[in-house]
Amino acid sequence: MSMLATVRHQTVVNARHAASFSRLSLPMRRTSVVLAVLFGAACSSTPSRPDPIPATLPVITRPGGESAAWWFHAGAATAARQREGAVPQARNLILFIGDGMSIPTLTAARILGGQRQGDPGEEFRLSFEDFPHTALARTYNTDAQTPDSAGTMTAMVTGAKTRMGLISSSQITQRGDCASSQGEALVTLMELAETAGLATGIVTNTRLTHATPAALYAHAPERNWESDGLIPATQRPHGCIDIARQLIEFPYGDGIDVALGGGRAHFLPLEWAARPGAIYVESNTQLSALDPHKARQVLGLFAADHLQFDHDRRRDARGEPSLAEMTHAAIDLLKDRPHGYVLMIEGGRIDHAHHFGNAYRALDDTLALSDAVRVAAERTSPDDTLILVTADHSHTMQIVGYPARGNPILGLVRGSGGEGVMSSEPARDALGQTFTTLNYINGPGYAGATSQQPEGAKQHPHVIAGVQAAMRADLSGVDTTAPDFLQPSLYPLADETHGGDDVAVFARGPGAAAVRGSLEQNVLFHLMAQAQPRLRATLCSAGACDTDGTPFRLPSHEALNKPGESSH
């Protein structure tokens, strides 16, 4: 349990970063004045002089010469080039993360969505596939070809890539080493937003302390330090604070305004509810009953751990809200704030279903994310709200064989085992066995007997232990479309792994036209920050901008407003 003491989480300037780029540290009263002046400049209606492209990126040897300052500079320069002189004026920013939502996941979910409507499926469109701008994002961490969610989300919300397992801490930090993280905290999107006077919100169907949401508000050398009991005794003397406590004690602006998700076991919710104007809810009934004009800060913890997969949620009477319902509530709670808002919404259980080797739930939760994006698109305007939809990383699920048009995406391949004439009969491999369209490269769907399940097709949940080698499972008479069927995997692992391939980015609204081509994942932060005038102004007030207002220097926490200085 987090003790949630009153000690504030503070960060310091990293001297090694300061040596790379000069910083401007202003007294707080003066900072507020400069912010107002720069905000006025950022909102100017005279587009005749476009922003210049930032200074030439220093030539370095990679990867050895990479640093947080270099990544930030490189990302900002790319974003400025992508804008081609345009100066977007986004009032609101919404970032959707489909955790583990690989391109094959998108394709398979699209087909499943269409087939549930009685159509062949291939022609179906997810809600965000109608967004006009798309790109690919490269997901690698600074130390890993195939990344994890901590490093990838850090890239998207700080503008700098980092190591696997780190929460918004620079790549100098060694994982699990608290001392090495001191002075290495990276300024996050939510810290900037609260300093700028924007409202802030976080929505997830995972624990609120899980890696993806945590990167928005916390700094940690280990993603698993979600509550104080999870920090090793040897690391506590070095000053690290558990992730749950950092959410409750978030020291910028007036704190996070809306936080909806799971993870109740890591919190003492009454600490939140005791604050003036703060409301705590733990059911969908309570959430839907909130008055947006009275509820200034809302913490919703709807499960002790993660929320359920959407398939299971729909069949349960405990009253967990769907991702779409939480999205609706968050937008209603934030939309009338005077200066706009920054909102992150994560469909985090897509990733978990893939790790379990269960394509049914992964695709079902992808469709739930699509529903949530549709809600956001309907309740906002492309004139003032930039919406990005992307994934943090991919997975090993693949779509294989030559199934006929309209073949059930979760079924056996019926069509052709090669590039021959299509057939209505199940296709067979060189051993004469049938096979599924969806398969995993690794994971718990391996056919060998384990201490939990006999040799053959596997069912969810399946925790591999005592696995034995085996030939591929005979799928004759197996309902591969059933929700608990585990797609076959080539080799056994307790958890299926992430993939290292690029992920898709979809965009709508002011600044969306810059989302195109092949981008490093950290560029997404800069596209958002450069599209929102108050964020740009805040970065400039922190000494991060060139003379024409393009923020390309890594900002420091010391240069941001003191806790409580800004309000909305």
Q: What is the mean pLDDT of each run of 10 residues along the chain (568 residues)?
A: 36 36 30 37 40 64 95 96 95 98 98 98 98 98 98 98 98 98 98 97 98 98 97 96 96 96 91 85 95 93 97 88 98 97 98 98 98 98 98 98 96 89 91 96 97 95 93 92 98 97 98 98 98 96 89 93 48
Picking from 242, 212, 220, 240, the residue whose alpha carbon sits closest to that of residue 230 is 242
Instruction: Determine the pLDDT at residue 418.
Output: 84
- Give the C-alpha separation, 183 to 163, whole Å: 16
Structure tokens at 205: 């169907």
Q: Residue 546: its pLDDT value, please?
A: 87
Token pair, residue 561, equals: 């407003």
d(CA 412, CA 435): 6
- Retrieve residue 541's tokens: 């007030």
Q: In b/e form, how buried is each residue of 410-449, taking b as 16+ CB within 10 angstroms?
A: bbbbbbbbeeeeeeeebbeeeeeebbbbbbbebbbbbbbe
Q: Could you tell me which of 495, 547, 503 has the C-alpha nearest to residue 155?
A: 503
Where does 429-531 have alpha helices with state H? 523-531
Query: Which residue bears the tokens 């980015």?
Result: 505
Contact in structure between 503 and 395 (CB atoms under 8 Å): no
Between strands 498-499 and 394-395, the pairing is: antiparallel
Given a contact cutoff of 8 angstroms between Cβ atoms, the answer to whether 357 and 444 are in contact is: yes
Task: Quote the pTM value.
Answer: 0.90
Integer-rounded Cα Rg, in Å, for the chain is: 24
What's the distance, Cα to Cα, between the start and end of the chain in Å? 31
User: Do the beta carbons of residue 94 and residue 376 sit within 8 Å?
Assistant: yes
The pLDDT assigned to 560 comes to 82
Tokens describing residue 331: 């937008």
Least Cα distance to 167 among 94, 247, 102 occurs for 247
**Coil/strand/helix, residue 109:** helix
Cα distance between residue 153 and residue 214, in whole Å? 9
**149 in catalytic set:** yes
Burial track 178-215 (b if 16+ CB lie within 10 A, e otherwise): bebbbbbbbbbbbbbbbbbbbbbbbbbbbbbbbbbbbb
Q: Is residue 253 within 8 Å of 292, Cβ to Cβ?
A: no
Return the amino acid letter for 139: T
Which residues are CB-contacts of 378 (< 8 A; sequence separation ≥ 6)? none
Instruction: Give the active site residue among 67, 102, 149, 170.
Output: 149
Cα separation, 510 vs 86, in Å, equals: 10
Side by side, the strands of the sheet bearing 278-281 are: 278-281, 297-301, 258-262, 199-207, 341-347, 92-98, 385-390, 503-508, 133-138, 518-520
At residue 568, the pLDDT reads 56
pLDDT at 9: 36
Q: Are 333 and 568 in contact (CB under 8 A)?
A: no
Note if the bond before 221 is cis, omega within 30 degrees.
no
CA-CA-CA-CA torsion sign (152, 156, 160, 165): negative
Element (H, E) at 416: strand 415-416
Q: How far is CA 50 from the centre of its chain?
A: 31
Cα 295-99-310 angle, rounded to 5 deg: 65
Cα 428 from Cα 139, distance rounded (Å): 36
Q: Which two tokens stand for residue 520?
A: 């490093």
